[in-house]
Structure 1
């Protein structure tokens, strides 16, 4: 018997107002925001700083929040990417090796991911690790539908 399909969302918070951000999550039926950022306490995060975001999600949309560092890149991978002025191919290769080594498919459950939203800062998913995480899990589990918000 085939297992039930998992609806997994991804979203970056930059270039969105708080209203756009929360309305998009609520209208999409997101139940849990899964924070994939390495640094989620920076002042640059604005309304998405860890403790503020957890509060706002619950109050505004009844949405749960979890931060999973194993879904984030390491600092050295990020620094190298910025130093090399964004060689996406190198970053992607290193990040995919990292999440494979971490065996992230054993650190998240289908229940958590179903109607979950992988969150990071990048506005678009193309050159973002949240897309790589989503696709990696889809390749491991085969029953994941990904929607980038």
Structure 2
């Protein structure tokens, strides 16, 4: 039996919408895979986010070793996806990233979990790579969740080796 692993980007979302999306999906644990868990978006920096999640009964872990290193983020800002992939594929192969990957798998096996990063689109975020790697270890069904204040629709999108579903709230 496959367990569902969710991914989410908070770009453009308010913390209240984000929390409601997590509740609707039955999320029990957020796995933050941002290299730098600081945000200009109110409520999404590490400490305030962990506090908000705790108030909602949702666990929180920050796994820095799974974050996209600065050269990868710089490549994405330049829209150089090939360079980003090269940087991140090299990064995720490191001992620290592999240890964090297994920690993320163990967390997601125990509780309904979501991988958190900033980018709204999973195609523009390393969380898709992390989710696919986790799925190779533990056979997760991967679903991407998007936060929006406008619609409530679920549609499947085929992306590489993993099937992602977008849920707009």
TM-score range, shorter chain: 0.7 to 0.9
Gaps of 5+ in 2: 146-169
Q: Does 1:13 align with 2:10?
A: yes
2: CA distance, partners of 1:146 / 1:125:
11
Count of matched residue pairs = 141
Q: Does 1:66 align with 2:84?
A: no
Matches for 1:110-129 after TM superposition, within 5 Å: 110-114=105-109, 115-129=112-126
TM-score normalized by the length of structure 2: 0.75
Mark the CA change 1:146 to 1:41 in structure 2 (over 3 Å): closer, same or farther: same
Q: 1:136 aligns with which of 123, 133, 158?
A: 133
Matches for 1:13-92 after TM superposition, within 5 Å: 13-42=10-39, 44-59=40-55, 61-82=56-77, 85-92=78-85
Mark the CA change 1:129 to 1:54 in structure 2 (over 3 Å): closer, same or farther: same
> Over aligned residue pairs, what C-alpha RMSD do you find?
1.8
The answer to whether the Cα contact below 8 Å between 2:4 and 2:141 also exists between their aligned partners in 1 is: yes
TM-score normalized by the length of structure 1: 0.84
Q: Which has the higher contact order (CA 8 A, sep 6+)?
A: 1
What secondary structure sits across from 2:122 in the alignment? coil
1: CA distance, partners of 2:124 / 2:101:
25
Runs of 4+ residues deviating >4 angstroms: none
Question: Residues 38-65 of structure 1, C-alpha deviation per residue, up to 9 Å, x if partnerless?
Answer: 11124x1321111100000111x20001
The structure in which a higher percent of residues are helix is 1
